[in-house]
Amino acid sequence: MSKLISLKIDGQQVEVEEGTTILEAARKINVNIPTLCHHEDLCVAGNCRVCVVEVNGRERLEASCCTPAPEGMEIWTNTAKVRNARSEIVSLLVSEHNTQCTTCYRNTNCELQDLAAEYNVDGNRYLSVLKPGLKVDTSSWSIEKDDSKCIRCQRCVRTCRELQHVNALTAACKGQDMKISTFLDLPFNEVVCTNCGQCVNRCPTGALTERRYFNQVWEAIGDPKKHVVMNTAPSVRVALGEMLGYEIGTRVTGKMVTAMRKMGVDSVLDTDFTADLTIIEEGNELLQRLKKVLVEKDSSVKLPMITSCSPGWVKFIEHMFPNHLGHLSTCKSPQQMFGTLSKTYYAEQKGIDPKDIVSIAIMPCAAKKYEANRPEMSDSGYRDIDAGLTTREFGLMIKQAGLDFKNLPDTEFDSIMGESTGAAVIFGATGGVMEAALRTAYAVVTGRPVPFENLNITAVRGTDGIREASIKVEGCLPEWNFLEGATLNVAVAHGLKNARIIMDEIAAGTSKYHFIEVMACPGGCIGGGGQPIPTNAEIRAKRTQAIYEEDMGKPIRMSHENPEIVKIYEEYLQEPLGHKSHKLLHTHYTPRNRY
Amino acid sequence: MANNKLRKVDIIFTPYSAAPYEILRLTMQKEKNAVIDEIIESGLRGRGGAGFPTGYKWRFMANQPGDEKYVICNADEGEPGTFKDRKLLVEVPRKVISGMAIAAYATNSNKGFIYLRGEYNYLIPALEKELLIFHEYAEKFGLDFQIEIFSGAGAYVCGEETALIESMEGKRGEPRNKPPFPIQEGFMGKPTLVNNVETFASATMICRVGAETYKSYGTDDQHGSKLFSISGDSPKEGVHELELGMKISDFVEEFGDGDTKAVQIGGVAGFCIPRKNFETAIIGEGNTTGGATMIFNSTRSMYNVLHNYLEFFAEESCGQCTPCRIGTQQLLKGIEAVKKGEKPESYLNDLIKLSRTMKITSKCGLGQSVTNSFVSIVENFREEMIY
Ligand SMILES: Cc1cc2nc3c(=O)[nH]c(=O)nc-3n(C[C@H](O)[C@H](O)[C@H](O)COP(=O)(O)O)c2cc1C
Ligand code: SF4
Ligand code: SF4
Ligand code: SF4
Ligand code: SF4
Ligand code: FES
DSSP structure string for A87-137: HHHHHHHHHTS---GGG-TTTTS-HHHHHHHHTT--TTSS---PPTT---B
Counting every residue written for chain A, the total comes to 595
DSSP per residue over A363-399, as a string? ES-SHHHHHHH-TT--TTSS-S-SEEEEHHHHHHHHH
Q: Is the peptide bond before A416 cis (omega within 30 degrees of 0)?
A: yes
From B76, B164, B178, B366, the mutation candidate for ligand 5 (largest count of ligand atoms within 8 A of CB) is B366
Whether A16 has its CB under 8 Å from any CB of chain B: the answer is no
Answer yes or no: are the C-beta atoms of A199 and A234 closer than 8 Å: no
Distance CA A291, CA A285 (A): 10
Residues A364-410 pLDDT 10s: 999 999 999 999 999 999 999 999 999 999 999 999 999 999 999 99
Is A559 labeled as catalytic in the residue annotation?
Answer: no
How many A from CA of A91 to the centre of ligand 2?
Answer: 13
Residues of B with CB below 8 A from A68's CB? 179
Which of B321, B346, B359 is the best substitution to test chain A (most A C-beta atoms within 10 A)?
B321
CB atoms within 10 A of CB A117: 12
Q: What whole-number distance in Å separates Cα of residue A197 and Cα of residue B311? A: 37
The 3-state secondary structure of A192-255 reads CCCCCCHHHHHCCCCCEEECCCHHHHHHHHHCCCCEEEEEECCCCCCCHHHHHCCCCCCCCHHH
Contact flag B177-A151 (C-beta cutoff 8 Å):
no
Q: Rounded to whole angstroms, how far apart are CA atoms B217 and B206?
A: 12
Q: Is the CB of A540 under 6 A from ligand 4?
A: no
Backbone phi, psi, residue B279, to 5°? -75, -30
Q: Spell out the residues 6+ positions from residue A23 whose beta carbon is closer than 8 angstroms to its own.
A: A33, A35, A38, A51, A64, A65
Radius of gyration of chain A (CA): 25
Q: Comparing C-alpha atoms, which of A184, A149, A143, A148 is closest to residue A167?
A: A184
Kind of pairing between the strands at A357-363 and A387-390: parallel
A59 touches chain B (CB under 8 A): yes
Tell which one of B318, B330, B354 to mutate to probe ligand 5, the residue whose CB is within 8 A of the most ligand atoms: B318
Please tell me which of the candidates B179, B323, B350 has its beta carbon nearest to residue A89.
B323
- Interface contact A176-B325, CB threshold 8 A: yes
Ligand 2 atom index nearest CA of A99: 5
Catalytic: which of A140, A329, A342, A581?
A329
Tell me, in angstroms, the distance from the centre of ligand 6 to residue B266's CA: 30
Please name the CATH architecture into which domain A284-331+427-585 falls. 3-Layer(aba) Sandwich (3.40)
A150 contacts chain B (CB < 8 A): no
CA distance B205 to chain A (A): 35
What residues have CB less than 8 Å from B117, skipping those under 6 apart? B75, B76, B77, B78, B152, B154
Q: Which of B76, B315, B317, B361 to mutate to test the pocket of ligand 5 (most atoms within 8 A of CB)?
A: B317
Q: Name the CATH code of domain A4-78 (choices 3.30.70.20, 3.10.20.740, 3.30.590.10, 1.10.3720.10).
A: 3.10.20.740
Residue type, A334: P
Is A309 one of the annotated active-site residues of the chain? yes
Residues of chain B predicted below pLDDT 70: 1-6, 285-289
Neighbours of A352 (CB within 10 A): 17
Q: List per-residue pLDDT tens for chain A, 595 residues long.
A: 589 999 999 999 999 999 999 999 999 999 999 999 999 999 999 999 999 999 999 999 999 999 999 999 999 999 999 999 999 999 999 999 999 999 999 999 999 999 999 999 999 999 999 999 999 999 999 999 999 999 999 999 999 999 999 999 999 999 999 999 999 999 999 999 999 999 999 999 999 999 999 999 999 999 999 999 999 999 999 999 999 999 999 999 999 999 999 999 999 999 999 999 999 999 999 999 999 998 999 999 999 999 999 999 999 999 999 999 999 999 999 999 999 999 999 999 999 999 999 999 999 999 999 999 999 999 999 999 999 999 999 999 999 999 999 999 999 999 999 999 999 999 999 999 999 999 999 999 999 999 888 899 999 999 999 999 999 999 999 999 999 999 999 999 999 999 999 999 999 999 999 999 999 999 999 999 999 999 999 999 999 999 999 999 999 999 999 999 999 999 999 999 999 999 999 999 999 998 7
Distance CA A104, CA A150 (A): 13
pLDDT digits (tens, 9 = 90+) for A317-353: 999 999 999 999 999 999 999 999 999 999 999 999 9
Q: Which helix (H) or strand (E) holds A84?
A: helix A80-95
Domain definitions of chain A by residue range? 4-78, 104-210, 214-273+336-407, 284-331+427-585
| Fold category of A214-273+336-407 in CATH | Rossmann fold (3.40.50)
Question: Which of B324, B325, B342 is most worth mutating to test chain A (most A CB atoms within 10 A of its CB)?
Answer: B325
- State the amino acid at position B150 in one-letter form: F
Domains in chain B: ranges and CATH: 22-215 (3.40.50.11540), 225-297 (3.10.20.600), 302-386 (1.20.1440.230)
Output the ligand 5 site: residues, CB below 6 A.
B 157, 175, 317-321, 324-325, 362-364, 366-367
CB contact under 8 A, B326 and A68: no
Which of B315, B316, B330 is most worth mutating to test chain A (most A CB atoms within 10 A of its CB)?
B330
* CB of A39 closer than 6 angstroms to any ligand 4 atom: no
| A143, β-bridge pairs | A210
Q: CA of B366: which chain A residue's CA is closest?
A: A175
A35 ligand 6 Cβ < 6 A: yes
Classify residue B341 as exposed, middle or buried by CB count within 10 Å of its CB (0-12, 13-18, 19+). exposed
How far, in Å, CA of A209 to CA of B130, rounded?
Answer: 56
Q: What is the pLDDT of residue B49?
A: 87
- Please tell me the pTM assigned to this model: 0.96
CATH number (3.40.50.2300, 3.50.50.60, 3.30.70.20, 3.40.50.920) of A104-210 reads 3.30.70.20
- In this prediction, residue B4 carries a pLDDT of 55
Task: Answer yes or no: do A63 and B363 touch at CB < 8 A.
Answer: yes
Say whether A284-331+427-585 and A214-273+336-407 share the same fold. no
C-alpha distances (whole Å) from A351 to each of A224, A342, A348, A573, B223 are 17, 12, 5, 18, 96
- Which residues numbered 88-147 in A keep a CB inside 8 Å of some CB on B? 88-89, 92-93, 95-96, 125-127, 129
Closest CA to A328 of A311, A312, A304: A304
Starting from the CA of residue A208, give the closest ligand.
4
Instruction: Collect all residues of chain B within an 8 Å Cβ-Cβ radius of residue A173.
Output: 319
Distance B191 CA to ligand 6 centre (A): 26
| Beta carbons of A559 and A279 less than 8 angstroms apart | yes
Contact B65, B83 (CB under 8 A): no
A175: nearest CB among B314, B354, B368: B314
Q: Give residue B1's pLDDT.
A: 40
Helix (H, G, I), strand (E, B) or coil at A182: strand
Q: How many CB atoms lie within 10 A of CB A448?
A: 11
Residues of chain B positioned with their CB less than 8 A from the CB of A178: 317-320, 325
Q: Which of B179, B319, B361 sits opposite A85 (nearest CB)?
A: B361
Single-letter amino acid code for the residue at A339: G
What residues contact B313, with CB distance under 8 A and at least 6 apart? A175, B268, B324, B328, B331, B332, B366, B370
Chain A residue closest in CA terms to B324: A175
- Ligand 6 pocket: which of A22, A24, A48 to mutate (most atoms <8 Å of CB)? A48
Give distance in angstroms: CA of A161 to centre of ligand 4.
14
Backbone angles phi, psi at A281, to 5 degrees: -70, -45
CB < 8 Å & 24+ apart, contacts of A111-119: A111/A36, A111/A204, A111/A205, A112/A36, A112/A151, A112/A204, A112/A205, A113/A205, A115/A34, A115/A36, A115/A50, A115/A86, A115/A90, A116/A90, A118/A34, A119/A83, A119/A86, A119/A87, A119/A90
Backbone angle region of A183, left / alpha / beta, with phi > 0 → left and psi within -120 to 50 → alpha: beta
Nearest CA to ligand 1 atom 8: B77
Q: Is A48 a catalytic residue?
A: no
Closest Cα in chain B, distance from residue A44 (Å): 9
